[in-house]
Structure 1
Amino acid sequence: MSENIKEMIGKVFNDIADAMETGQFGSKVKVGITILGSEHGIDNMVKGAELAAKNSQDYEVVLIGPKVDTKLRIVEANTEDEAHKKMEELLDNGEIDACVTMHYNFPIGVSTVGKVITPAKGQEMFLATTTGTSSPHRAEAMVKNALYGIIAAKSTGIENPTVGILNVDGARQVERALKELNNNGYPINFVESMRSDGGAVMRGNDLLAGTPDVMIQDTLTGNIFMKVFSSYTTGGDYEALGYGYGPGIGDGYDRTVLILSRASGVPVVAGAIAYGAQLVKGNLKEVAKREFSAAKKAKLEEILKSLTVDHKKSSSAEDEEVVAPPKEVVTGSISGIDIMDLEDAVKALWKKGIYAESGMGCTGPILMVHEDKIKIATDVLGEAGFVAKEADPC
């Protein structure tokens, strides 16, 4: 009898045993994990996989790598490249439903949504995103990251996840775009900052406390946060907390591949496998299709295109000299303007005869005008695309 037939028969008996134990024949999720490439060695990966398998009867863990002493099923591969090829083959033919791996390249447009445990209150929080490139354009990428984070959260059973935007460069531009998407019919559940002045733009306090279910930022910043959240108790060389860097998500991407760092330790390896199983049970692929379709109906593509247009260059009077109106007391302030657009926003008001100055408030850049002119100034800025038209002055 050939080895392949023996393996098939063994698999059938294992499935029967699983069915007798769980009463759910054929429904057990299978999560693969490549075990080569860790800075902590193969044993670290195997122990993490065994811990994940021990902690749950709902899924089976499949190792992809060289033969090791374990009771887990092994699909043999002796190099990282070979392991990734085996992983893709197993995913594509349905032998595994998801896979956890390291140092894997996603196409442009796909990035990963990590999940951490925040230190202040022990809250689970999705970081969107942590590896990969959603778009070469920063603001467009962050809008896509928001959608990817919502998809990951919904796939793990959070029906209406709260969303916050970290106060990094481009945050206000992203906020305007997401509010436009929301107004167009794609519901986004914006959360209020825990700080007294509130708003959907999050501060470091919110990051530590886990104020939103989904925290939006650029991928490089998200990658740093993943490393800090997972290894702040260990000195940085061993990631001991959380669920890893998460699944690659993108429009049309249909493999469930989750990423670990080479510094990820046993607890994070186990957490990533559990995260992968949870995503499969929550039908990540179908959730993604549904959410992308709904967002496109709400004019996602048009909104993304508008973010890559430099409105400063769209004017034929690009180099026009703008003279400031007579100076007046400016005690009123308008927030919600991206720092990169602040001086252009000042000039937009000057052109309309409204004296304005730029400044920096507690939540970021502000425009200062006479308090009696806040409403008209906000309307002018809204028409010019510097703030959301429905934005209220701070």
Structure 2
Amino acid sequence: MRAAVLRATDRPFEIEEIHLGELRPDEVLVRVVASGMCHTDLIMRNPALAAGFRPIILGHEGSGVVEAVGNAVTQTKPGDHVALSFDACGWCRSCLAGNPAYCVQFEVRNVTGARADGTLSAVDQAGADVANRWFGQSSFAEYAIATERNIVVVPDDVPLEVVGPLGCGLQTGAGSVFNAMRLRPGQSLAVLGAGAVGLAAVMAAKIAGARDIVVVDLHESRLALAEELGATRTIRGDAEDLASAIRNGADGVDFSFETTSVTALIGTAIAVLRRPGKAVLVGAGAGRLDIHPSALTGRTVTFALEGGAIPQLLLPRLIEEWRAGRFPFEKLITTYPLAAVNQAEADSISGKTVKPVLLMN
């Protein structure tokens, strides 16, 4: 198969021929149709966050068609259309309690590029190992090996070209509103960062009946898109007194959603809360939570993985909201051929593209 391989934190992706190994009993082979590019993929560009780096196939918002299944798989079959999401063990206390995003093995199954036991199942033309289980899938490739725990069967009439981003970025934004916040009609939300994750939160907050949805970003085009998707107010991120502008003379907002992992904005996300209020942080990066404990009086701060979602429950809901016109996430997507993966990355970093999606054919 062809795959986009990252061989060093400071080198471009290279399109290479890769050979996949045999499926294990609990594994599923998916012919990838499309894969969203998420900023979490780009943490592998940061040497401080990519300790023990090895050649790797990234991509964790895949969609495609099941080609083959291991003999222990019961939840999918060849021919099924699927979206790929994060992996979980299925048996730890968190998984059994319906919290797979907080699986005890989340990090080892999702951000090492290997199976939970440390093994890989891909080699390059020279026979050298290539990590191919990033978030249990590594979907910047024509084929991906996943498990039945991190696939979601979707209706055949839903375009696979747009389904992929539901598996992480959009799930994180919408899931944070529905699960981590449990936002109710009439409540208010400030979203810091109008990327795909932040804009998914905007759409979800509108669905949930939020009274005030404030969006902060530096890109005028993204602020305009936020208004189209449901924001009631937008503010440039370089405003002189950002916290005051967000509060707008009130005592604060019920919830804030910080997507950028910028230290100053993390502090702002807490400062704009009323009491009680809750800040949900999701940005993957080097930002720090640096505040005096008294700033937390009556306020709650949490870091949410994957919006606290169960993909097999949330993704079908988001698809139905999309069918009804209430979650028009296709407006965020720009498609690129797999061979243009480096251009997609550049456009994502610059802000030109909100959600790049790589098409394998």
TM superposition score normalised by structure 1: 0.31
Higher strand share: 2
Higher helix share: 1
| Higher Cα Rg, which structure | 1
TM superposition score normalised by structure 2: 0.33
